[in-house]
Amino acid sequence: MKRVIIAFYLIATQIGVALGAEPSPEEVPFISMMRGVHAWMDESVPAGATIFIGDSITMALATAAVAPYSVNYGISWQRSDQLIKSMDIYESILRSSRVFVMVGTNDVLEGREVGIQSRYQAILAKIPANVEVVMSSIPPVGDVVINGRKIDEKNVRAVVAFAKTVCEANERCRFVNTYEALSTDGKPTQGVLLPDQIHLSTKGYQLWIEALRRVQ
């Protein structure tokens, strides 16, 4: 089994490189691997599908609970700038009916939220004007310390506001405030996050799915 996994990783990575998905030195290998897998998948995605793009929170979303005719292109560890690069692979977006976007948590965790508003605009610009967009804000995070740096909730809220501003300036974009849907009195609602205080629990996903389905 281990040999099969290694072989799959190498094949997927080579496919990604061949299709223009060569990673930058700072990117984790998993992102390159998943780009390769997605490139492999993409030619088979039928016209009119709903595409979900984002990070690990999107990756673990049961997209069929939101849109039955859907494809999940979430990638763990992915920041907004990396998503912009990944989108070059997804030719299926050009023939999709709708694209769901949720990215930005890793930008905050890595202290790279500066400039995210322009990156949100760049993401929208890569989606054809005739394709509907649903932009979901990032969810709340709990008490998280990374490399000795405590994540400031103000930065999370700022990223939420940037996503809202960018989406509302585009008439084909519908905004879903995931932060509010999963918060109570300015803090994550009890039980919506896993012990890492970043990723969503089953309850968190249920609330997010409900919020996403309301924009149908």
**pLDDT score recorded for residue 90:** 98
Q: What is the DSSP string of 126-171?
A: TS-TTSEEEEEPPPP--S-EETTEEPPHHHHHHHHHHHHHHHHTST
Q: Are residues 209 and 138 in the same domain?
A: yes
Tens-binned pLDDT, residue by residue, of the chain (216 aa): 434 333 443 344 333 333 333 334 456 899 999 999 999 999 999 999 999 999 999 999 999 999 999 999 999 999 999 999 999 999 999 999 999 999 999 999 999 999 999 999 999 999 999 999 999 999 999 999 988 899 999 999 999 999 999 999 999 999 999 999 999 998 999 999 999 999 999 999 999 999 999 997
Q: Which domain holds residue 178?
A: 46-213
Q: What is the pLDDT of residue 2?
A: 37
Whether this prediction's pTM lies above 0.85 is answered by yes
If you compute the radius of gyration of the chain from its CA atoms, what whole number of angstroms results?
17
CATH number at residue 99: 3.40.50.1110
Reading the block at residue 130, the tokens are 């005739």
- Residues with Cβ within 8 Å of residue 32, at least 6 apart in sequence: 13, 16, 17, 21, 22, 23
pLDDT tens sequence across 68-91: 999 999 999 999 999 999 999 999
- Exposure string of 16-25, with b = 16+ CB inside 10 Å and e = fewer, is beebebebee
Residues 91 and 158 reside in one and the same domain: yes
Question: pLDDT tens across 44-74, in order?
Answer: 999 999 999 999 999 999 999 999 999 999 9
Q: Are residues 120 and 188 in the same domain?
A: yes
Q: How many domains does the chain have?
A: 2
Q: Are residues 183 and 163 in the same domain?
A: yes
Classified as helix, coil or strand, 102 is strand
